[in-house]
Structure 1
């Protein structure tokens, strides 16, 4: 089975080769026609295209003014990316100036901005700060003139743009500097007015005086409380003793023992029975009396101490209330002072920064150098880049060969079909 399949494939391949050999003149003819046609078109129909190339170098500004973020927001940056420069090169404004300078809009050229834009290609050379400008045209001299004119115009335009941006920055900083000067003057004036009427020193002095009084009053209050405790303890002790003591003492005496009665008996005569008489009397207990007097004195002293304690507590409460009010007023005064000082400091800093930037821009304006420089201008190209005649002829020959083979097989198929039709008839 496999041998039969191999034999069939060998027969088919041999048939193909026989067709190619038998129809070789068709294949050769088609191939030659394609080659000759491509050669005719390349040499006599297609116009040669020449490419002229110039190279630019982009560098950072020699004097670069770095502004604060708040200020930078309003001023365009003079440092652009290479991609931005590439887009600026092909701006319609520059293209129109190139056309006008070289009179490319006049016969026989009659080029438009769109035509010129298609002729130029801009390439950013990788890992460098170089930009390559390549222009294609049928005239080598015109290609050189256009790309060189374009290059010089762009360098000049970029220099003008850089100078314009620096001047815009200068004008902006000048306006902001004047506004900042006014703000600083207003802030300092408010600070001066506040210092003339502020009560910070007076409030601090009053607070110190109240605190000293509070210390003295609280110290006295502590002594009074201690004295009250002592008096209360003394009163309790005296009351305990009084409970045990009798207020009156009962005394039993004979007439003889009483001096007054004894003298009286001496006058009226002595009677033995009368002399033996005894009588009972009550007298105030001196111990009880002394304790009662001491208790009264302690009660008076306790009342006086409690009155003093109440007055001290009332005065301390008033001191605290006044102290709290003074502290709030002092805090508000200091807050106002802090805010005014902060406003003055910010105004001074802003004015200082703007003054410094104004000087930097002034220096930058006097020493402005172009950020785009010409590395090399284009020279007149000697040989065209298009059309590639050898390549065109080679490709046409290959395509002609394929087409010739297809034509040969088609002719072979056509003739075999006609012979089969004749045999059938």
Structure 2
């Protein structure tokens, strides 16, 4: 059995003296091999499914714990959503205060201008008016003068008198100045109160923002923990379902098929007589050549003589 290079095929080779027996063995071995792979993979996937089920149950517990922790956090007072709504309300309130403050600034400038104008006009207006009129124009003085002149009005007709009367323009301007001063004082008080409210609201806003930052950080941590636990559980659940389906199915039958069954060969693949004869002839020739060279070397070595050195 060998894998065919650059393919996903497996070749099964059987050698036997009986060609029919060789084909029968190959055709029997192929489905047995498929069954062997199916059983091996099913056993392996069964173990994987058991492990995945155990791990999935652990991840389910982690997911439940993360869910409960997130629920408890969300049930606490001043949740992230509530804090965000409070912050938005504070921001709107501060904006309204500042709008009112701008309007009061405009009203203050207008009131001050009106007050300065009224004061300037009041300073030029006398408080009393000096009047000179005939005595007969005043009933009281006319009666007194007539009594002294024995009731003759002609005697007092030429008499005049000086008097002072309150200047109505002065009174009106004075009342206007007083009214403007009261209005200006009210505007200044309103501005002070609104400025104080802005400072208080700003302090509350900063406190809410600090609390929101802490809550948001904790919420993000818990949310990320929940998301990771959920994703991990879903991953193990999916892998477990795949392993369970694989375990209950015939993997070999679904993924492995016999492409070409073995057929009875017409010619034997072995022994190859022509090749064997060629190899035998080559080896015999090599042995003969070697023998000839060896015998030649032996003969030449035997014919060699040693000539002694004789002295007379």
- TM-score, structure 2 length as denominator? 0.60
Alpha-carbon spacing, 1:293–1:353, altered in 2? closer, same or farther (3 Å): same
Corresponding residue for residue 251 of structure 1: 131
Alpha-carbon spacing, 1:173–1:278, altered in 2? closer, same or farther (3 Å): same
> Are residues 1:362 and 2:244 paired?
yes
What is the aligned-residue RMSD (CA, Å)? 4.9
List aligned pairs for 1:305-320, cutoff 5 A: 305-320=187-202
List aligned pairs for 1:230-245, cutoff 5 A: 230-245=110-125
Asked whether the 8 Å contact 1:255–1:278 carries over to 2, the reply is yes
**Selected match of 2:272 from 360, 373, 384:** 384
- The higher relative CO (CA closer than 8 Å, separation ≥ 6) is in 1
Shift of 1:391: 7.5
Shift of 1:237: 3.1
Count of aligned pairs = 266
Asked whether the 8 Å contact 2:149–2:155 carries over to 1, the reply is no
Alpha-carbon spacing, 1:169–1:317, altered in 2? closer, same or farther (3 Å): same
List aligned pairs for 1:328-407, cutoff 5 A: 328-330=210-212, 332-333=214-215, 336-337=218-219, 339-370=221-252, 376=262, 381-384=269-272, 389-390=277-278
Corresponding residue for residue 291 of structure 1: 173
Secondary structure of the equivalent of 1:251? strand
Corresponding residue for residue 58 of structure 2: 179
Asked whether the 8 Å contact 1:125–1:131 carries over to 2, the reply is no
> C-alpha deviations, 1:145-195, integer Å up to 9, x for none?
xxx8xx99x959866764554244224313321221221121122123223
Asked whether the 8 Å contact 1:125–1:132 carries over to 2, the reply is no
Alpha-carbon spacing, 1:312–1:366, altered in 2? closer, same or farther (3 Å): same
In 2, Cα distance between equivalents of 1:221 and 1:158: 85
Consecutive unaligned residues in structure 2, runs of 5 or more: 286-312
The more displaced of 164-173 and 307-316 is 164-173
Secondary structure of the equivalent of 1:129? coil
Secondary structure of the equivalent of 1:175? helix
Corresponding residue for residue 68 of structure 1: none
Corresponding residue for residue 303 of structure 2: none
> Are residues 1:170 and 2:49 paired?
yes
Shift of 1:383: 2.3
Corresponding residue for residue 290 of structure 2: none
